[in-house]
């Protein structure tokens, strides 16, 4: 009898325990960065845009490879060259129980350019919009001045806020939670700045219900601490696993690593504009004409760079050699471009042909706290260039100093990165390859001042071509010309790594976001 009692007690206890394990669906995430604000339209940076997706939805969502799929809009199509129609999802509720309607979309689009004191607004995403017409509660038409084929892409970059909750509210009200009312998978519970952000599951979510009932996000900027937090079990998942730790974490049986390629391109920008460029001299320090103007010299530099070696040794395998500005499979990506093969002999021959048999002296500039192993990559490239006869010095500096100088054109050859969050090529062609044009808003980050009228006209035509096939064709052509011309010299795409405790899976995302609703337990 006593034995039976004991047995049933044990069974009961294990049932209770098992049940409580099944219910304990808390997830603690350690992220490298913290959002500067929970106002999703205040500051257009990755940490903020990623956090916004916990609470809010977009009209059009992006999957882990940044392909678009229906979010709050069930469908969208151009009705004519300057009008796009969006059919909205019915029966979606905000966290406060109010209905999501076309009014909220209109309110959001009108709010975006008018967020006070925004250090980097999202106005560009709605810049083409002339008028927002509400057809009925669940149909909305966007009228644009010119044909705007990128409208869906742009509309996949901002989240929809509630008119009822956000009207007349300031950024502080989002931070305190009063206005942070979305339709997203999680509700905001608390933000203790610098320490943690707490979310709980939105039980009325319209989409697939996420597995975790409670999410705690902790900002841990120090790489070593973030890894230690995972190893000690304080957090269940971390992002930005540092390359140096990948090997030993992979050997740890209690942990799992999840890798995904990213759209973060690391490339060299090169002065192809000025007759005399500041950071280049002849071998005896005398001034010489800018050698970068010669395509053969640019080609030689590209051939001198051993991309697979950088990927394998400096990036510990966490990089994919690049041939263009987005990885294969993205809109506007050319199938004809392949990463330049390492060819020091060919590089030397090209330099000789260009009239520099003994090379010249240059300085390569780079940041040392912006991209993964940025200073080391600059060092490696300098050695590779020196090997083919271009005597290269390295000068790296903190990003706070670097980018101002780079934009002021103080450098001639510089290491930079670019992440195309929109997931298509017109964004990077327009910013990096198009002729610098202040008024037109082109070539904003074209720090080498590359200029080719053919690239410009192809891009400009693509930007007003609504037909998707034609649009893509024009983009591909502009990319091919710009890359064959080495307007920039692509090096590699970073690979992002997430670390979790054993038993969790995360497929990773090319935009680098860490989204809890895509984290699953096995």
Partner 1 sequence: MLAFLIRRVSQSAVVLLVMSVLVFVGVFYIGNPIDILIAPDASEAEYLAAIKRLGLDKPLWEQYFIFLKGALQGNFGNSFVYNEPALKIILDRLPATLELAFTAMFMAVFLGIPLGMVAGIQHDNLIGRNIMRFSILGFSLPTFWVGLMLIIIFSVYLDWLPSGGRGPTTEFLGMQVSFLSWEGISYLILPATNLALFKTSLAIRLSRAGVQENLQMDYVKFARAKGLSNTRIIGLHVMKNIMIPVITVLGMELGNLIAFAVVTETIFAWPGMGKLVIDSIGVLDRPIIVAYLLITVTMFIFINLLVDLMYSVLDPRVRLGDER
The CB density around residue 390, as the number of other CB atoms within 10 Å, is 26
Specify the DSSP element, H or E, that contains 14: helix 2-23
Q: Which residue number, 37 or 82, has a Cβ lying nearer to partner 1?
A: 37
Q: What b/e string do you get for 320-353 counting C-beta neighbours within 10 Å, with b at 16 or more?
A: bbbbbbbbeebbbbbeebebbebbbebbbbbbee
Closest contact distance (angstroms) between CB of 233 and partner 1 is 7
Rounded to 5 degrees, φ, ψ at 414 are: -140, 145
Q: Which residue number, 120 or 336, has a Cβ lying nearer to partner 1?
A: 120
Closest contact distance (angstroms) between CB of 198 and partner 1 is 12
SS3 483: helix
Closest contact distance (angstroms) between CB of 409 and partner 1 is 13
Closest contact distance (angstroms) between CB of 145 and partner 1 is 14
The Cα–Cα gap between 513 and 496 comes to 10
Q: Which residue number, 177 or 282, has a Cβ lying nearer to partner 1?
A: 177
Paired tokens of 191: 């933000």
Closest contact distance (angstroms) between CB of 457 and partner 1 is 20
SS3 9: helix
Closest contact distance (angstroms) between CB of 519 and partner 1 is 20
Contacting positions for partner 1 (CB under 8 A): 34, 36-37, 42-45, 116-121, 123-124, 127, 171-172, 175, 192-196, 218-222, 224-225, 228-229, 231-234, 369, 398-405, 407, 418, 427, 430-431, 438-439, 441, 444-445
**Torsion sign across C-alpha atoms 52, 58, 63, 67:** negative
The Cα–Cα gap between 501 and 499 comes to 7
Closest contact distance (angstroms) between CB of 401 and partner 1 is 5
Residues 471, 462: contact at Cβ < 8 Å?
yes
CA-nearest of 356, 368, 363 to 381 is: 363
The Cα–Cα gap between 430 and 445 comes to 9
SS3 499: strand
Q: Which residue number, 164 or 196, has a Cβ lying nearer to partner 1?
A: 196
Residues 99, 296: contact at Cβ < 8 Å?
no
Closest contact distance (angstroms) between CB of 413 and partner 1 is 19
Q: Which residue number, 101 or 171, has a Cβ lying nearer to partner 1?
A: 171
Q: β-pairing, 214-219 with 26-31?
A: parallel
Q: β-pairing, 361-367 with 391-397?
A: parallel
The Cα–Cα gap between 39 and 158 comes to 11
Closest contact distance (angstroms) between CB of 82 and partner 1 is 20
Rounded to 5°, the CA angle 96-98-102 comes to: 130
Closest contact distance (angstroms) between CB of 518 and partner 1 is 24
Closest contact distance (angstroms) between CB of 220 and partner 1 is 4
Q: Which residue number, 30 or 184, has a Cβ lying nearer to partner 1?
A: 30
Q: What is the distance, to the nearest Å, from the Cα of residue 425 to the centroid of all Cα atoms in its chain?
A: 13
Q: Which residue number, 164 or 405, has a Cβ lying nearer to partner 1?
A: 405
Closest contact distance (angstroms) between CB of 224 and partner 1 is 5
The Cα–Cα gap between 518 and 522 comes to 12
Q: Which residues contact 295 (CB under 8 A, 6 or more apart)?
A: 485, 486
The Cα–Cα gap between 77 and 84 comes to 6
Q: Which residue number, 195 or 467, has a Cβ lying nearer to partner 1?
A: 195
Q: Which residue number, 175 or 202, has a Cβ lying nearer to partner 1?
A: 175
Q: Which residue number, 98 or 431, has a Cβ lying nearer to partner 1?
A: 431
The Cα–Cα gap between 414 and 448 comes to 9
Q: Which residue number, 42 or 186, has a Cβ lying nearer to partner 1?
A: 42
Q: What is the distance, to the nearest Å, from the Cα of residue 229 to the centroid of all Cα atoms in its chain?
A: 25
């Amino acid at each position: 009898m006593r034995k039976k009692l004991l047995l049933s007690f044990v069974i009961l206890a294990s049932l209770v325990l098992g049940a409580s394990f099944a219910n304990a669906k808390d997830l603690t995430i350690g992220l490298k960065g913290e959002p500067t604000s929970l106002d999703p339209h205040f500051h257009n940076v990755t940490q903020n845009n990623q956090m916004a997706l916990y609470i809010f939805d977009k009209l059009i969502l992006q999957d882990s490879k940044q392909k678009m799929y229906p979010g709050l809009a069930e469908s969208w199509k151009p009705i004519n060259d300057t009008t796009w129609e969006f059919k909205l999802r019915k029966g979606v509720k905000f966290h406060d129980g109010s209905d999501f309607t076309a009014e909220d979309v209109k309110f959001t689009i009108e709010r975006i350019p008018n967020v006070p004191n925004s250090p980097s607004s999202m106005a560009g995403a709605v810049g083409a919009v002339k008028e927002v017409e509400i057809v009925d509660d669940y149909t909305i038409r966007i009228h644009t001045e010119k044909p705007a084929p990128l409208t869906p892409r742009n509309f996949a970059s901002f989240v929809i806020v509630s008119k009822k909750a956000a009207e007349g509210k300031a950024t502080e009200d989002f931070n305190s939670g009063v206005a942070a009312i979305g339709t997203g998978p999680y509700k905001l519970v608390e933000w203790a700045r610098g320490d943690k952000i707490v979310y709980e599951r939105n039980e009325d979510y319209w989409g697939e219900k996420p597995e975790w009932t409670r999410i705690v996000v902790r900002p841990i900027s120090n790489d070593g601490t973030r890894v230690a937090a995972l190893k000690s079990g304080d957090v269940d998942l971390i992002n930005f696993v540092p390359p140096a730790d990948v090997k030993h974490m992979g050997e740890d049986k209690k942990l799992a690593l999840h890798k995904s390629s990213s759209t973060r391109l690391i490339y060299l920008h090169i002065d192809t504009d000025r007759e005399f460029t500041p950071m280049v001299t002849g071998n005896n320090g005398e001034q010489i004409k800018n050698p970068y103007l010669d395509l053969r010299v640019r080609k030689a530099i590209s051939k001198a760079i051993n991309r697979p070696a950088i990927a394998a040794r400096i990036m510990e395998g966490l990089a994919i050699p690049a041939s263009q500005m987005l990885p294969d499979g993205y809109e506007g990506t050319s199938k004809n471009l392949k990463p330049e093969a390492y060819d020091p002999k060919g590089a030397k021959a090209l330099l000789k042909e260009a009239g520099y048999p003994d090379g010249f002296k240059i300085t390569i500039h780079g940041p040392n706290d912006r991209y993964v192993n940025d200073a080391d990559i600059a060092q490696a490239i300098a050695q590779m260039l020196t090997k083919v006869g271009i005597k290269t010095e390295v000068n790296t500096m903190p990003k706070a100093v670097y980018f101002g100088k780079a934009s002021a054109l103080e450098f001639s050859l510089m290491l930079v990165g670019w992440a195309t969050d929109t997931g298509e090529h017109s964004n990077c062609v327009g910013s990096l390859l198009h002729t610098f044009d202040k008024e037109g808003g082109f070539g904003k980050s074209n720090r080498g001042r590359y200029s080719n009228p053919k690239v410009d006209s192809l891009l400009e035509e693509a930007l007003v071509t609504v037909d998707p096939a034609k649009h893509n064709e024009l983009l591909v052509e502009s990319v091919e010309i710009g890359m064959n011309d080495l307007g920039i010299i692509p090096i590699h795409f970073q690979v992002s790594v997430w670390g979790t405790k054993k038993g969790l899976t995360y497929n990773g995302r090319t935009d680098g976001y860490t989204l809890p609703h895509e984290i699953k337990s096995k």
